[in-house]
Amino acid sequence: MHFKLAGLLFLLVGGYFAVDAIIVTERQHSEVLSAQVYPLVAIFLAMTVRVLQAEKHHREAQREPEPRSTANVEEEVLSRT
């Protein structure tokens, strides 16, 4: 639980810095600065999407019951007889 809260906090802080960087870039009217900031913001957004996809797959994997192995099935059959 602590890792999820820390991850969410880091995403929020990163989002704040990304938006702040875009605002500062627009105020400076600098093409050189824009050429550096926009790719970094795009990378941040791509990484954010990847983290959210990983979390979704992790939750789905936890919901699905694990398939029983044949050894466990054989033990259950033998124990019933």
DSSP label of 1 = -
Q: What is the pLDDT of residue 19?
A: 92
**Which of 26, 24, 25, 18 is closest to 42 using CA atoms?**
18
DSSP label of 67 = P
What is the rounded distance in angstroms from the CA atom of residue 53 to the CA atom of residue 61? 12
For Cα atoms 38, 40, 44, give the angle at the middle one, nearest 5 degrees. Answer: 115
CB 48 within 8 A of CB 14: yes
Of the two residues 2 and 18, the one the predictor is more confident about is 18
Give the pLDDT band (50/70/90) at residue 77. low
